[in-house]
């Protein structure tokens, strides 16, 4: 698809059709919403092999097991949780009223927003399309999804499957280039959710501001991992290597650098090499390790490595393999001595390069984290309650996991979202339902009430009431 005038006109017409359909049925029943969720669940499970094969083809290599574990299992669990709890989330919430409003009753009524837009990145195309869609459908909305042009086979198949499952005026997928994505962001949606880089997030928010479209931005940044002084060191390294190498580091919440107790850098490298040998034996031919998505992204990682090496840093390959441009396989590399002002330490890496940053005290580590833009995730390895409490309370991140990497995303009851430079808003679970709802406050007054006692003309009666109100 080219981003020419007919395509833009088609997108605008689709948005109008969905909005008209919403206005004809602005508050779907729970039975209707549950039917849609079950249809989405069936789509995912029935077509998991075909979608995994499409992703493998788009990446050049991506293990089917990794796709199923990292995308399909999470989506299935979230749909099942929405089916269990969504009916309860729909119910009006009673709220208290102050005594001067009695006998009025107050409540908050969740209401669908209307038509929402979802912009999906390339790194987890199914998870990051279907996850927000679950929240949107549970809240009773209609949705238009813009898939990534970097995963053309997955995007085309997903568009086909959605078209076979849902009426186009209910859920639709559009595919096209970055220019279409820019036009998509400028449409007057009732809510827009974008997952991607901080740089593009700025552009999306500016475009959405034209219509005062509320946005949820799931961005990225440099998510730190902190190994405490008394942590189970080998377990921490093993866990970090597994988290960093999932999807070859092409994960928005991948650990971007590791704060290591000073003097333990070499121990980290040795343990990481041993972990890699167990996870990916015969690395160069191992089918479980994901390729980098494109030649451009591969070359960017090479530039980051070359630049930091030229700046005096030491690169420590965690396997005996070397980067291979033909297959776009980039082996994991630990980095020590990286200058703070180099690109590797300033940009989100989004690949298997892992800087190690030594620290002396917990105060130093916390100060290091807080001196940088607020990250999407923070990982702490510690067993003592005091360290966990301090890091939890004294740092700010979109999400946090203790003695674990990435897996807070797998807990569907926890909201997923950024803060500051890593984004705004959240989805998953109840918070996702709220994101795509107008939580409408409603006050219901009784026929018999005291409103007349404080109405003009102001005189002795109002003064007497005011005297009582100010005293009580």
In 3D, which of 136, 119, 115, 173 has the Cα closest to residue 37?
136
Q: Are 98 and 112 in contact (CB under 8 A)?
A: no
Determine the straight-line distance between the first and last CA of the chain, rounded to whole angstroms.
68
342 counts as catalytic: no
Strand duo 400-402 + 378-381: pairing: parallel
Dihedral angle sign, alpha carbons of residues 303, 306, 309, 314: positive
Q: CA-to-CA distance for 105 and 445, rounded, in angstroms? A: 6
Structure tokens at 278: 């167990």
Which candidate in 66, 78, 252, 342 is catalytic?
252
Q: What is the dihedral of CA 399, 400, 406, 407, to 10 degrees?
A: -100
Q: CA-to-CA distance for 159 and 353, rounded, in angstroms? A: 34
In 3D, which of 140, 201, 211, 131 has the Cα closest to residue 426?
131
DSSP state of 68: I
Q: What is the dihedral of CA 210, 214, 216, 222, to 10 degrees?
A: 50
Structure tokens at 272: 């990481």
> Tokens 């094969």, residue?
53
> Tokens 């690395």, residue?
283
Which candidate in 66, 71, 78, 218 is catalytic?
218
Q: Are 227 and 259 in contact (CB under 8 A)?
A: yes
Helix ranges restricted to H, 117-232: 127-138, 152-165, 178-185, 198-209
Neighbours of 360 (CB within 10 A): 11
Neighbours of 38 (CB within 10 A): 12
Q: Are 434 and 110 in contact (CB under 8 A)?
A: yes
Q: Which residues pair with 440 in a beta bridge?
A: 109
Compute the C-alpha angle 111/84/407, nearest 5°.
Answer: 100
Q: CA-to-CA distance for 78 and 461, rounded, in angstroms? A: 58
Dihedral angle sign, alpha carbons of residues 300, 184, 168, 412: positive
- The conformational region for residue 266 under phi > 0 = left, psi -120 to 50 = alpha, else beta, is alpha
Q: What are the catalytic residues?
A: 218, 252
């Amino acid at each position: 698809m080219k981003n020419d005038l007919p395509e833009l006109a088609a997108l605008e017409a689709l948005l109008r059709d969905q909005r008209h359909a919403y206005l004809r049925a602005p508050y779907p029943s729970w039975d209707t919403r549950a039917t849609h969720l079950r249809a989405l669940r069936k789509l995912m499970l029935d077509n998991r092999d075909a979608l995994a094969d499409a992703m493998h083809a788009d990446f050049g290599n991506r293990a089917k097991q990794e796709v199923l574990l990292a995308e399909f299992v999470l989506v299935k669990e979230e749909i099942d949780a929405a089916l269990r709890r969504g009916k309860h989330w729909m119910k009006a919430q009673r709220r208290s009223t102050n005594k001067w409003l009695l006998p009025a009753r107050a409540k908050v009524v969740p209401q669908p927003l209307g038509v929402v837009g979802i912009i999906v990145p390339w790194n987890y195309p199914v998870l990051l399309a279907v996850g927000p869609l679950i929240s949107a459908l549970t809240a009773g909305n209609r949705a238009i999804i813009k898939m990534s042009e970097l995963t053309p086979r997955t995007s085309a198949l997903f568009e086909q499957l959605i078209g076979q499952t849902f009426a186009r005026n209910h859920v639709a997928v559009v595919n096209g280039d970055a220019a279409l994505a820019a036009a998509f962001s400028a449409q007057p949606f009732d809510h827009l959710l974008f997952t991607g880089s901080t740089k593009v997030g700025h552009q999306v928010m500016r475009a959405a501001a034209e219509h005062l479209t509320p946005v949820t931005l799931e961005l990225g940044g440099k998510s730190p991992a902190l190994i405490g002084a008394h942590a189970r060191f080998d377990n921490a390294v093993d866990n970090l290597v597994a988290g960093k190498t999932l999807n070859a580091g092409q994960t928005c919440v991948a650990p971007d650098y590791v704060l290591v107790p000073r003097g333990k850098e070499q121990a980290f490298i040795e343990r990481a090499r041993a972990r890699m040998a167990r996870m990916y034996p015969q690395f160069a031919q191992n089918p479980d390790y994901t390729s980098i998505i494109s030649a451009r992204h591969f070359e960017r990682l090479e530039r980051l490595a070359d630049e930091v090496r030229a700046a005096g840093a030491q690169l420590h390959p965690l396997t005996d393999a070397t980067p291979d441009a033909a297959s776009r396989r980039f082996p994991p590399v630990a980095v020590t001595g990286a200058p703070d002002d180099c690109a590797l330490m300033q940009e989100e890496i989004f690949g298997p390069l892992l800087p190690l940053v030594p620290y002396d005290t917990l105060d130093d580590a916390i100060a290091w984290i807080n001196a940088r833009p607020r990250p999407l995730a923070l990982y702490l390895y510690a067993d003592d309650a005091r360290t966990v409490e301090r890091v939890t309370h004294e740092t700010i991140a979109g999400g946090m996991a203790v003695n674990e990497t990435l897996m807070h995303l797998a807990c569907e009851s926890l909201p997923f979202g950024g803060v500051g430079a890593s984004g705004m808003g959240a989805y998953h679970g109840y918070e996702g339902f709220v994101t795509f709802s107008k939580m409408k406050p409603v006050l219901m007054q009784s026929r018999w009430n005291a409103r007349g006692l404080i109405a003009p003309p102001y005189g002795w009666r109002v003064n007497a009431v005011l005297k009582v109100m100010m005293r009580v």
